[in-house]
């Protein structure tokens, strides 16, 4: 199993007290499901199940692959009777907390203990979604295994579906922000083939946009800091790697580089509000 994870020693995490009533129930059940998935890795390695092992490896860097892994391995077990009875406000807080934790874990060295926490957060999110009927926005790029192929047929399809086009553009903008944040301190990074490809794809998508993009209202340093520190309890003992990830995010923010996940969240919210405004005018 060790070859799937980074060889970095880290102390067990000490969870802070979140104060959300159903947090303990959700964490316990999510941990149970995540442990079940982790327990399949040795058997998969022994049996040469490359498809499963590749999905585990890919899930460390791809949210889509992580979602696929959780839903594929847990199935109907993601529905929990107690979680069904959680209040709306409680569900919203738990969902946001686990999404923030998953995001922080994704940017830390992917050691086995960190992956376990990352996987547990993903399981918790999907337990909430499946138990409470909360859908996740469709991704025009499909699963993490399939990248959007830019050709005449794809562009024609997206031109007919401006909502899907908007999601595709936000996806590329998120990739652009993430790449910049990770590589901007290295000379010549703007000429990297991967970054150039992202820019070219973004320009092709924008060229077929017929609706005006929603502005970035609601974007502020204060809100970005709230996003970065969301889910971090004042009494929680953070790992060194996790602390450095938060510090790096703050340094990037000082340079004007907002967290990619925060930008995507703001743009999605603005786009949703813009759509609702259009529908209201039509009515």
- The DSSP line for the chain is -GGGS-----PPPB------TTHHHHHHHHHHHHHHHHHHHHHHHHHT-HHHHHHHHHHTT-HHHHHHHHHHHHGGGG--HHHHTS-HHHHHHHHHHHHHHHHHHHTS---HHHHHHHHHHHHHHHHHHHHHT------TT-STT-PPP-SHHHHHHHHH-HHHHHHHHHHHHHHHHHHHHHHTTSTTGGG-HHHHHHHHHHHHHHHT--SPPP--TT--HHHHHHHHHTT--TT-B--HHHHHHHHHHHHHHHTT---HHHHHHHHHHHHHHHHHHHHHHH-
Residue with tokens 């067990």: 12
Report residue 213: phi and psi, to 5°.
Answer: -65, 145
Q: What is the pLDDT of residue 247?
A: 87
Between residues 244 and 39, the one the model is more confident about: 39
Between residues 112 and 139, the one the model is more confident about: 112
**Distance between CA 79 and CA 97 in Å, rounded?**
19
Residue with tokens 């949703």: 272
pLDDT in tens, 12-34: 444 434 456 788 999 999 999 99
Q: What is the pLDDT of residue 58?
A: 92
pLDDT in tens, 33-61: 999 999 999 999 999 999 999 999 999 98
Q: What is the pLDDT of residue 138?
A: 37
Q: What is the pLDDT of residue 119?
A: 96
Q: What is the pLDDT of residue 179?
A: 84
Q: What is the pLDDT of residue 234?
A: 64
Between residues 232 and 177, the one the model is more confident about: 177
Dig out the tokens for 259 from the structure.
């967290």
Cβ-contact 93, 45 below 8 angstroms: no
CA distances from 27 to 51, 115, 117, 146, 215 (A): 28, 15, 10, 31, 37
Question: What's the pTM value of the predicted model, to 2 decimals?
Answer: 0.49
**Average pLDDT, whole number, for the chain?**
78
Most confident option among 118-122, 152-156, 217-221: 118-122
112-132 vs 23-47: helix axis angle to the nearest 10? Answer: 120
Between residues 133 and 9, the one the model is more confident about: 133
User: Percent of the chain at pLDDT above 90?
Assistant: 27
pLDDT in tens, 136-171: 653 434 333 345 667 776 777 777 777 778 778 877
User: Percent of the chain at pLDDT above 70?
Assistant: 77
Report residue 237: phi and psi, to 5°.
Answer: -90, 110
Q: What is the pLDDT of residue 19?
A: 55
- Calculate mean pLDDT across residues 174-193: 86
Least-confidence region, from 20-34, 68-82, 249-263:
249-263
**Distance between CA 127 and CA 30 in Å, rounded?**
7
């Amino acid at each position: 199993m060790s070859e799937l994870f980074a060889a970095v020693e880290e102390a067990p995490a000490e969870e802070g007290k979140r104060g959300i009533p159903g947090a303990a129930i959700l964490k316990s059940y999510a941990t149970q499901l995540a442990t079940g998935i982790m327990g399949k890795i040795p058997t998969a390695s022994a049996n040469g199940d490359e498809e499963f092992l590749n999905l585990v490896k890919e899930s460390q860097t791809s949210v889509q692959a992580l979602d696929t892994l959780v839903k594929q391995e847990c199935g109907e077990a993601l529905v929990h009777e107690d979680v069904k009875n959680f209040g709306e406000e409680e569900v919203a807080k738990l969902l946001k907390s686990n999404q923030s934790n998953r995001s922080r874990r994704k940017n830390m060295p992917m050691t086995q203990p960190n992956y376990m926490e990352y996987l547990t957060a993903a399981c918790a999110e999907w337990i909430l979604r499946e138990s409470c009927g909360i859908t996740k926005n469709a991704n025009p790029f499909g699963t993490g295994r399939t990248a959007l192929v830019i050709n005449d047929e794809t562009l024609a399809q997206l031109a007919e579906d401006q909502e899907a086009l908007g999601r595709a553009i936000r996806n590329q903008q998120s990739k652009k922000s993430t790449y910049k944040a990770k590589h901007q301190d290295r000379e010549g990074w703007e000429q990297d083939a991967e970054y150039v490809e992202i820019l070219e794809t973004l320009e092709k998508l924008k060229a077929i946009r017929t609706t005006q993009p929603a502005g970035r209202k609601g974007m502020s340093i204060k809100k970005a800091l709230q996003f970065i520190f969301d889910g971090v309890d004042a009494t929680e003992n953070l790992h060194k790697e996790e602390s450095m990830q938060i510090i790096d995010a703050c340094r990037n923010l000082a340079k004007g580089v907002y967290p990619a996940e925060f930008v995507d969240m703001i743009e999605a919210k603005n786009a949703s509000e813009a759509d609702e405004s259009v529908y209201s005018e039509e009515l």
